[in-house]
Amino acid sequence: MTDRALLELAARAGNVEIAFNNYKGEPFVRTNQNLPESCFVRPWSPRTDDGDAFRLALAAGISVLIDDDEDARCVTARYTLPGRFSPNSRLEDFRDHGDDKGAAARAAIWLAAIDIGAYIQFLATELGKQSGETG
């Protein structure tokens, strides 16, 4: 899957409206919803930006738990898929991110958001098939 497709899935999870720069293909978001639709003015990178990752976690309903003791040094992103009751989680070890808790947290949020976005896309596809079958 391409970076762009992954970004689109993550954005879908948080209901984040993004547009891609035609020159470099970088994602941008509108900082003010009152601006015209063509005004996407701030880069969006939840994989590398703490603020974007935090806003994505809030919007997508992702809880972040940090376990920093001798036995386990990891970040867990917990989430529940739409229409489901049992929680899911993504776990990232600090050591896989150079002992950077922030990088591990961003990665866990990023992966959880992709899971959620993929599930939302699956539901939309299934609903489309059902409506096509009955209509």
pLDDT by residue, tens only, the chain of 135 residues: 899 899 999 999 999 888 887 677 778 776 655 556 556 578 899 999 999 999 999 999 999 999 988 778 899 999 999 888 888 999 999 999 999 999 999 999 999 999 999 999 999 888 877 777 554
Q: Give the span between the Cα atoms of 98 and 32, in whole angstroms.
A: 35
User: By the 8 A CB rule, do 19 and 65 touch?
Assistant: no
Extended beta strands in 52-117, E state: 63-68, 73-79, 88-93
Task: Write down the pLDDT at residue 38.
Answer: 57
Architecture of domain 3-128: 2-Layer Sandwich (3.30)
* Residue extents of the structural domains in the chain: 3-128
Task: Write down the pLDDT at residue 35.
Answer: 58
| CA distances for 18 relative to 98, 100, 106, 125, angstroms | 30, 28, 18, 21
Question: Residues near 116 by Cβ (< 8 Å), separated by ≥ 6?
Answer: 12, 13, 60, 62, 79, 81, 82
Compute the C-alpha angle 86/7/88, nearest 5°: 10
Amino acid at position 101, single letter:
K
Task: Write down the pLDDT at residue 31.
Answer: 60
Residues written for the chain: 135
